Amino acid sequence: MAALSRRVGWRPVAAVVGIVFTVVVGVMMLVRPDAEWAQVFVLASRQLWHGEDFYHPGTLYLYPPFGAVLGLIFVPLPEWGARLGFFAVNLAAIATIAMVSWRLAGGGTLGEPSRETRDDWTVVALGAVVAAPYAWNTVLHQQADLLIDALVALGMLAALRRRSLAAGILIGLGAAIKGPPLLFVVYFLWRRDWRATAALLVTVFGVSLLPDLVGRAPEGVWLGLWLKRIILPAADVDTALGAWATTTSFNISNQSLGGTIQRLVNSVLTREGGDLVIVARPMLEARAMKLVTYGLMAAIGLVTFAVSALAERRRAAIAPSVEAEREARATELAIVPLLMLMFSLMSGLAHFPIVAPMAVLLARRAVSRPDRPAAVALGVALVVAVAVNKDLVGRILYDAFLWSGVPTLGLIALWLGGLALLLRPCAEPAAVLRPS
């Protein structure tokens, strides 16, 4: 492959590999039995178009109403057309997330792989290894999260460039598809970015009312119906943590803090025959569990704010470079999606591609200069990425890793790595990632 790349150039080789990958995965999209976009989002859009209640009891559509509007353009298509169309959207989203992660880390135009560009490509490779298993999971299941993550990533880049209005609108669109990006409101308020805060909230509520222009809700507006039927029951103090969208509160797919803590405290994993079985072992009732978990979330949030404030004082004391200030701002922005995944009611592996910006930031620091905290955090994230690949570790280990919250541990490692980046600002520009 290296000899071929030298003879014909790396771009044609990459193009051929990309085309083959696209064709193979496109065929997989057509034959897989489950495809959330076509079978959940487009179905809700079809029900909206025909004046039906897409939040009816037993519905699989558990998201804000704006997603039902997005799916309308796919309604005239057969299911195979909706699958392939959204596969194209996912490919564009992956490219967007990769580009934004690179730009957030200060990267410029990538040159041809060579000895001179080795460090740049090492950073790219490390970031890709961390994020790729999650993006692969999202693509295979045709979930909407890559689209959401691309919008959030573009909003983060706009915020880094002080384009507050664009940042709020882009992240608001992502939050209107699925709610967790609303956490950026807290960050924008913390940074006194009133324009981004207002733009985000206006966008979320504005586009959430669009379904009411297409079809009337059974009562009130669709946004209110979603809150009443989906969110409030899940958030009730007597509803078990981790029970979002499932019949059990021990769903191993839920890698949010709440989902993982619920499994570790109130269940045990046993082996029966050739399978692993989760057995309930009640230790804390729902209210006590939520008190403990929400207290932990509050502590994580307070630590994040405290570190951000302390780091800002440290940077002011050392008169940092423009690059150091930019890296700190990018790191703060990359921490928010990690908290978003930890604090959400439900965070599956398909939601995790947005860890890419933090992975690339840590890779940059680890490659460009000796930085043990960044290297350790990135190393943990790399191990976790391997552990959640079912094809590599096998189904039994995969289920055991999910039950024990290994992906949640990866989020915590990336979060701690981000805090370490803030507390150890670079006084000198990095020698890697030549800016454009």
Per-residue pLDDT tens for 29-55? 666 767 788 888 889 999 999 989 989
Nearest CA among 175, 219, 227, 224 for reference residue 196: 175
Say if residues 384 and 410 touch (Cβ distance below 8 Å). Answer: yes
Model pLDDT, residue 15: 67
DSSP state of 240: P
Say if residues 399 and 370 touch (Cβ distance below 8 Å). Answer: no
Beta strands in 274-427 (DSSP E): 275-280
More confidently predicted of 371 and 307: 307
Q: Of all residues in the chain, what percent are helix, strand and coil, respectively (each to 5)?
A: 70, 5, 25
Say if residues 86 and 37 touch (Cβ distance below 8 Å). Answer: yes
269 beta partners: 278
The Cα 376–Cα 358 span in angstroms is 13
Task: Give the three-state DSSP class for 272.
Answer: strand
Model pLDDT, residue 435: 46
Place of tokens 């960044």: 374
Residue 3 has pLDDT above 90, yes or no: no
Per-residue pLDDT tens for 255-286? 999 889 988 888 888 877 777 788 878 888 88
Main-chain phi, psi angles of 151, to 5 degrees: -65, -45
The neighbour count for residue 326, using CB atoms within 10 Å, is 17
Half-sphere exposure of 346 (CA within 13 A, CB side): 22
Per-residue pLDDT tens for 142-185? 888 999 999 999 999 999 999 999 999 999 999 999 989 999 99
Residue 190 has pLDDT above 50, yes or no: yes
DSSP state of 249: T
- pTM for the model stands at 0.90
